[in-house]
Structures are given as structure tokens and as C-alpha cells.
Copies of this chain bind each other. A is one copy, B any other.
Amino acid sequence: MRITREDVVSQLLAGASDRPVESADVYAPANIALCKYWGKRCSELNLPVTGSLSLSLGSYGSHLRMSRMTEATTDRVTHNGVALSADTAFVRTLTAYLDLFRAGAYFNIETRNTIPTAAGFASSASGFAAAVRGLDTLMGWALSPQALSSLARLGSGSACRSVYDGLVEWDVGSSEDGMDSFATPLRDQWPDLRIGLLVLTDKTKPIGSRQAMQHTVDTSPLYRAWPETVASDLATIKAAITERSFERLGQAVEGNAMAMHSTMFAARPSVIYWTPETVATITRVRQLRDEGLMVYCTMDAGPNVKLLFLHASQEAIEAAFPDVVVTNAYNGDV
């Protein structure tokens, strides 16, 4: 018997409180995977093929204000101050997600992203994490972080990591209902880590990441080697964090991102998120490293490049990339 999102929501809300309030005003940070989530074993529940590990982006993420509307017949969604039509992909996805929780009510939702949408900056992660936080506050559920993470996963896989700050691991889990597939913060945190965002383009991506992921799983002959790649990288990354070995961390992080894009390039037909600027930036990062600057890069399902470095290198990074936006997972405005 196929397990549905509704089944899982029932389980997760079984012991929840019920103390609704008028409105909720919440925030969730975006996160950048250091070891990528790429491929689902179950698309209904967003259960992953592998584990993954991310660093949150502090004050870069999604603010969300939420209230119930009486006598409304649809949700109302405003994004960055603009009312969105019900037929946009974003509203359709969000509305379908809210259907799991509405119990007859419709919602007025205002979101504001402090990070560009749909250019590979994981805005759906912070968006769905914020939606779950909003629901939890509005309904007065007082759920555990683990339950919040699981609920967020049902909206968007990587959202399950955005309910925390800092270094966060999403366990792959093995149960069919996914109740053991949620994120937790790593015991070892590393406050000196920084992620720099380079916005090479804020154009919408040629293909959404959900679709690119599924197409890669379905058609890329190299994807079969991805799960073992992640198993190895995840172990290396966690060991490097514990050992505070930045070089080892950076090599595994960059290698893992390159491997993910490689699985996409090899899809039939290819998924190519890289632009000429992406290649120029990757090449520049390697040059800087050859010159002794400890900086590594990672890329998600989009053309933009993110830099991984330590606080001590921040000035040098800003000198090399004047437009870089430096984020700090441990100094958010949450």
C-alpha cells in the first residue's frame, strides 16, 4: 500500500498541541549543501537516495507572515511585495502543500526572500521551512524540531535542513514512511566557516531542480555511481569538520558539487546549468587556490557559484570578488 503525504502528516501531528494564534511571523535560513541531495527514492514523500549535509546562510533566507482568512476560497500569496497569481508554479506547489494542513481554512501568506529566487539559491528550502514554522506557530502545534524537519521535507526535500542554523545533516533513513529521514544539527559546529554567494545571473533557471533531478536519475548513465560517491564524501566531510581540516573539507565539498553536475551533464539530453561565467568563476577559484588562498566552490542546480572559506580569508575573498555576498551561519538575524 502506497504511503501518502497525508498519512505522514497524520502521524507527525498526532501528539501536537492545538493553541492557534492570530498570525505568525517567522524566518528560516536558506542552506547550501556541502554534500548534495540529488535524487529521490520516493517523490511522494521526498525521500532521498542518499544523506546530505548543509551549512545555513544566517540572515539570507525567507521571512514569512501567515494568517488564516475567513470567507476566502483560495490562499493569497504575496512574494517580495507582489501578489502572485494562483497559476504560478510557486503558488501551485505551496497551495498543494497547504492542502495537507488547512482543515477548511485558507491562508494569507506574505513571503520575503533575502536571497534571489530560482537561480540555484535554494529559496524553496527556506520557503518551505518558513511555511512549516509559520504553520507551527499559527496552529500552536509546538512540534519538535524533528517533526518540523520531517514536515518541511514533504514540501521540498532540502527544506528539512533549513529548520536549523549551522551545519545540518539530513539522514537518508530507511523506513518506507520516511519517519527516520529528517535533519539534525551536527554535534560539531564550525563557527569560522563562511559561504560567499556570487550572483552571476538572477535569471530563472532553464529547468527546475526537481525536474532536473528526476531526469538525471532516469537518464544519466553516470548516476548509478552517485550513491557511493556521496557515502564517501559525507564521511570525509564529517571527519574534516571534526578534525577542523579545512583543506580536506573544501576538496570533498568541491568534488561533490562537481560530481553532482557531472551526473547532470551526462543525462540524456544533458542538463547544463553552467554558463560561461560559471566556468570562468570556477577557473578563477582554482587560480586563487594555486596562489595560496584557501577557497573552494560549490554549485547547486543553477549557474551561480558559492564560495566556501574561513573567516580569516574573508578580506582576501572580498578583494578577489568585489560583488561577493558573505554569509555567516552563526550570526543570523533569526
Q: Is A270 in contact with chain B by the CB < 8 A criterion?
A: yes
- Chain A interface, number of residues (Cβ within 8 angstroms): 33
Q: Is A85 in contact with chain B by the CB < 8 A criterion?
A: no
Please name the 10 residue pairs, one residue from A and one from B, whose CB atoms are nearest each other, closest first: A276-B276, A262-B262, A221-B229, A262-B266, A259-B266, A225-B225, A222-B222, A262-B265, A222-B225, A255-B268
Which residue numbers of A lie inside 8 Å of B, CB to CB? 221-226, 228-229, 232, 251, 254-255, 258-259, 261-263, 265-266, 268-270, 272, 274-280, 282-283, 286
Q: Which of B259, B270, B286 contacts A222 (CB 8 A)?
A: B259
B279, A275: Cβ atoms under 8 Å?
A: yes
B232, A228: Cβ atoms under 8 Å?
A: no
What's the Cα separation between A203 and B52 when bound, in Å? 39
Q: Which residues of B contact A282 (CB under 8 A)?
A: 272
B269, A251: Cβ atoms under 8 Å?
A: yes
Protomer copies: 2
Q: Which residues of B contact A229 (CB under 8 A)?
A: 221-222, 266
The secondary structure that dominates the A interface is: helix
Q: Other than the known A221-B229, A254-B269, A272-B286, what 9 A-B pairs have Cβ atoms closer than 8 Å?
A: A221-B228, A222-B259, A254-B270, A255-B268, A255-B269, A258-B266, A272-B282, A272-B283, A274-B279
What's the Cα separation between A251 and B268 when bound, in Å? 8
Q: Which residues of B contact A226 (CB under 8 A)?
A: 222
Smallest CB-CB separation from A283: which chain B residue?
Answer: B272
